[in-house]
Structure 1
Amino acid sequence: MRVRPKEYQVNDTAVRILVPSGMLGAGFPPHTIERGIALGADAIAVDGGSTDSGPYYLGSATPKTARAQVEHDLRILLRAAADARIPLIVGSCGTSGTDAGVDWVADITRGVLAAEGLELTVATIYSEQRASSLVADLRAGAVHALPPAGALEAATLESCTHIVAMMGHEPIEAALRGGADVVLAGRATDTAVAAAVPLMRGMPAGPSWHAAKIVECGGQCTTDPRAGGVLATIDHGGFTIEPLDPATACTPTSVAAHMLYETADPFRMREPAGTIDVTEATYRALDDRVVRVEGSRFEPAPQYTVKLEGARISGYETMSFTAIRDPHIVANIEDWAALLHRILGEWVSRTLRLEPDEYAVDIRLYGHNAVLQDRDPATVPAREVGVMLLVHAGDQATATAIAKVANPLMLHLPTADMDYLPSTAFPFSPAETERGAAYEFVLNHVVDTDDPTAPFRTEYRKATADV
């Protein structure tokens, strides 16, 4: 549909961005949104997902949040944005930013707008990429690996179930200028969501990007991350960060520390258009809860690049879990696990006639080195140990068959020096749980583009009360 473009004033004195939480659906105290609006917020920005929870959500194009969670947060945010006549921006919709994820959030949004009687223009920005187009880019030399990834092959692109490109602020700005009241974006950098409006309204790039990085996770840059979001005020000399809960504070340490979060370098961080440089940034407390930051810079890159994320099916998994309290087995749990692995391999070879390279078995000892394993060895004996067996194979039936072969071993396997059969405890019946397709990330690459909006597609829809 065609909508009337909007004019935005540039060279404003300051622009205020309200970030309610680190992720849409995570929840926030409603009173913090009211306070942010009262403080003069010019936009509401919130991230809708990430790759933190692994490749499944991208590979399967499904959200990690429940629909009711997202609807709850959107109802509060859409009402606040409509009443204040300010835009609402959501990035990485549906967790991974797939087209299905954008449509899922858009459908929830339409329902909320109809129920609340709100008339707003919604822009959906799609970030999924066609493998065939990326293969052409690859052959033209426009796709480059990021460390530690190696050279990319066309077959890897073609094997992905879903590929998304991570947009910068430009497609979001274009949607706002195009008339959107609500922007629902596919995969986007966490910072682009909060930086778009300040940059669009003439704020300098250094403070805009640095502030966006600090507030990307809402209250995580405060002394109480559970208390709600923050308000970033960006001006021509720097920015300030203020918690939306009056009982919570920002300190120079809590604000500066967020540059350590998810970054390889605490002073420099790459965006599609360039690099945030906070080497010379200063952090100063204005009072007991507000922090002022100055000295942030942004270095434009000679080539604009967009990061690609892709996932593919790596196989199928079946899981089994048992709990051990036998003191002798627990005292010798590593030997017991090695024995389980060896005997299971022998039984699988004899009964299923599978070679070791046709499947994989992962045995995790919870309560004894399951998380960090040899990086942090156990130094005291455990009272009980939970044993997770995860079987990975080329098809579901094979994975489940291997787990079934392991069943009697996980229930009654003695250590080599025991003269009786112990009994362990399966928490479920059946003991085997089919996890379905397993996915793996296979892209850690960027693609060159001369137009930051070209890889993305934007659609507009005017929502009315009778939708």
Structure 2
Amino acid sequence: MNDDSVRILVPAGMIGAGFSQETVDRGLALGADVIAVDGGSTDSGPHYLGSGMPKTTAAAVSRDLRILLRAAAQAGIPLIVGSCGTSGADSGVDWVADLTAAILAEEGLDLTVATIYSEQDPGYLKRRLAEGAVHPLPPLGPLTEETIDGCARVVGMMGHEPIEAALRAGADVVLAGRATDTAVAAALPLMRGMPPGPTWHAAKIVECGGQCTTNPRAGGVFAVVDRTGFTIEPLDPEAACTPTSVAAHMLYETADPYRMREPAGTLDVSNATYRAIDHRVVRVEGSVFEPAEQHTVKLEGARVTGYETMSFTAIRDPHILANIEQWAALLGKVLVDRVGQTLGLTEGEYDFDIRLYGHNAILGDLDPATHPAREVGVMLLVHAADQTTATAVAKIANPLMLHLPTPDMPYLPSLAFATSPAETERGPVYEFVLNHVVDSQTPTSMFRTTIRKGGLR
């Protein structure tokens, strides 16, 4: 162990995304003190938190876990995985813990596994709300008990402290619920006394693996945090870190490219310097960390807003394409009329969205395109309070999405459904409803940790 620096191996931006064995071997050869990798985020939307289901497949996560568990055991260093199961829900932590236990048994590895749970009890949150300890973040307003009760799940976003506590308790593997992307990489350096400014800055830069390099697809990165700064390099010898590629990552997922809030305080990189050590290694100095007067935990919650059915057709008819926006408006009008006639429903009892892929589905009215596309995909999303209603509305749209002409067409066009049946039931639809923080009583009090040999539950 080197008391003057801590070496962090980050094999990829997310476990289950895949990386090469050579990536990890190189990190171990460079003397890694810890393997840290994220397991999820809110990037993929509220479904994964609301449903408690992971985005990644078990086969992909198991494949990556097996490589990392072998490496951790071989080198005698800890492995830390944050936001397990995509959202960090308790079910996601248990899912990764079960995969881990199976691998340890198959490989004959004798490792101690900590699981840290971040789901929050609604009763506890309502008590803290009544105490005035819950505060909104823009653009949301004050939290209500009704919003808390309406959530399918609420998680608290932990900082490094619960992970550090698990490491101090003897964990070889830490499987954390919802955590800041940076906490998994910052925990060991902070535990070993590295300064918080360089530590949090390095953790921010490595959070997405190779994204801070000249070849984001190449895989992982390796950072060395010391008393005055940190160095960073890619684990792919063909890739490089440059001052620009490293500095640019402070623009990623931050409201301010110079300041970033963590539960324990704020990282300030306003005076940071980025210097090329050679053609592929960068040295960063000058980062500082401002401790907060009040430690806070951010809440994330998702609730069901209804049920959705999707239908998708494609248009190649040049006349319709030349008048695609008018055609889409006509589709919406005729659909509303027929739903009213057939189902007796008004627009307030259901909702729908028509998206024109290949025309303006991404930017809408901001799209600068002036020429009609050769073909356009039309996606209809119907939203209702129950699945039966959503599907019924989509089925009424079926003949329209197959043969609806523009008013001046003397014939019925034939459009092209992508699937048969054309309607796909997407099930419950979730939305994020919490963007609030709780004043922490202690940095670890909102999280529950268990530690077991071999990870068996």
Q: Equivalent residue of 2:178, what SS?
A: coil
Q: Which one of 104, 112, 115 corresponds to residue 103 of structure 2?
A: 112
Q: Who is 1:6 aligned against?
A: none
Q: Who is 1:389 aligned against?
A: 380
1:336-347 superposed matches below 5 A: 336-347=327-338
Q: Who is 2:118 aligned against?
A: 127
Q: Who is 2:346 aligned against?
A: 355
- 2: CA distance, partners of 1:177 / 1:292: 30
- 1: CA distance, partners of 2:352 / 2:101: 45
Q: Who is 1:173 aligned against?
A: 164
1:163 is aligned to 2:181: no
- 1: CA distance, partners of 2:68 / 2:233: 19
- 2: CA distance, partners of 1:285 / 1:450: 43
- 2: CA distance, partners of 1:151 / 1:227: 44
Q: Who is 1:40 aligned against?
A: 31
- 1: CA distance, partners of 2:172 / 2:89: 21
Structure 2 counterpart of 1:25, which letter? G
Q: Which one of 220, 227, 241 corresponds to residue 236 of structure 1?
A: 227
- 2: CA distance, partners of 1:387 / 1:113: 48
Structure 1 counterpart of 2:417, which letter? F
The more displaced of 157-166 and 421-430 is: 421-430
Q: Equivalent residue of 1:93, what SS?
A: strand
1:97 is aligned to 2:88: yes
Q: Between Structure 1 and Structure 2, how many residues are aligned?
A: 457
Percent of paired sites with the same residue: 74
- RMSD across aligned C-alpha pairs, in angstroms? 1.1
Q: Which one of 278, 286, 290 corresponds to residue 277 of structure 2?
A: 286
Equivalent pair of 1:58/1:162 in contact (CA under 8 Å): yes
Q: Which one of 285, 300, 325 corresponds to residue 309 of structure 1?
A: 300
Q: Which one of 400, 409, 415 corresponds to residue 418 of structure 1?
A: 409
Q: Who is 2:199 aligned against?
A: 208
Equivalent pair of 1:285/1:291 in contact (CA under 8 Å): yes
- 1: CA distance, partners of 2:219 / 2:344: 56
Give the drift of 1:380: 1.9
1:50-65 superposed matches below 5 A: 50-65=41-56
Equivalent pair of 1:222/1:243 in contact (CA under 8 Å): yes
- 1: CA distance, partners of 2:257 / 2:3: 30
Q: Equivalent residue of 1:240, what SS?
A: strand
Q: Equivalent residue of 2:210, what SS?
A: helix
1:152 is aligned to 2:154: no
Equivalent pair of 1:411/1:424 in contact (CA under 8 Å): yes
Output one character per residue of 1:338-361: Cα deviation in whole Å (capped at 9) or x when no partner: 000011001111111111111111
Q: Which one of 245, 255, 258 corresponds to residue 267 of structure 1?
A: 258
Give the drift of 1:377: 3.3
Give the drift of 1:204: 0.2
Q: Which one of 4, 28, 38 corresponds to residue 13 of structure 1?
A: 4
- 1: CA distance, partners of 2:218 / 2:366: 34
Structure 1 counterpart of 2:112, which letter? T
Q: Which one of 140, 158, 161 corresponds to residue 131 of structure 2?
A: 140
Q: Which one of 398, 409, 427 corresponds to residue 418 of structure 2?
A: 427
- 1: CA distance, partners of 2:238 / 2:332: 54
Q: Who is 1:192 aligned against?
A: 183
Q: Who is 1:452 aligned against?
A: 443
- 2: CA distance, partners of 1:258 / 1:55: 25
Q: Equivalent residue of 2:36, what SS?
A: strand
- 2: CA distance, partners of 1:403 / 1:178: 55
Runs of 4+ in 1 over 4 A off after TM superposition: none
Give the drift of 1:323: 0.6
Equivalent pair of 1:327/1:383 in contact (CA under 8 Å): yes
Output one character per residue of 1:50-105: Cα deviation in whole Å (capped at 9) or x when no partner: 00000000000000000000000000000000000000000000000000000000
Q: Equivalent residue of 2:40, what SS?
A: coil
Q: Who is 1:249 aligned against?
A: 240
1:409 is aligned to 2:400: yes
1:364-379 superposed matches below 5 A: 364-379=355-370
- 2: CA distance, partners of 1:398 / 1:131: 31
- 2: CA distance, partners of 1:216 / 1:444: 22
Give the drift of 1:333: 0.4
Q: Who is 1:69 aligned against?
A: 60
Q: Who is 1:5 aligned against?
A: none
Structure 2 counterpart of 1:420, which letter? Y
Give the drift of 1:450: 2.7
Output one character per residue of 1:346-381: Cα deviation in whole Å (capped at 9) or x when no partner: 111111111111111100001100111112232221
Give the drift of 1:162: 0.6
Structure 1 counterpart of 2:410, which letter? D
Q: Who is 2:432 aligned against?
A: 441
- 2: CA distance, partners of 1:318 / 1:213: 39
Equivalent pair of 1:29/1:227 in contact (CA under 8 Å): no
Segments of 5+ residues of structure 1 without an aligned counterpart are 1-8
- 2: CA distance, partners of 1:438 / 1:81: 39
- 2: CA distance, partners of 1:314 / 1:335: 30
Q: Equivalent residue of 2:63, what SS?
A: helix
Equivalent pair of 1:127/1:166 in contact (CA under 8 Å): yes
Q: Who is 1:326 aligned against?
A: 317
Equivalent pair of 1:146/1:444 in contact (CA under 8 Å): yes
Structure 2 counterpart of 1:432, which letter? E
Q: Which one of 216, 224, 238 corresponds to residue 225 of structure 1?
A: 216
Q: Equivalent residue of 1:429, what SS?
A: coil
Q: Equivalent residue of 1:101, what SS?
A: helix
| TM-score, reference length from structure 1 | 0.97
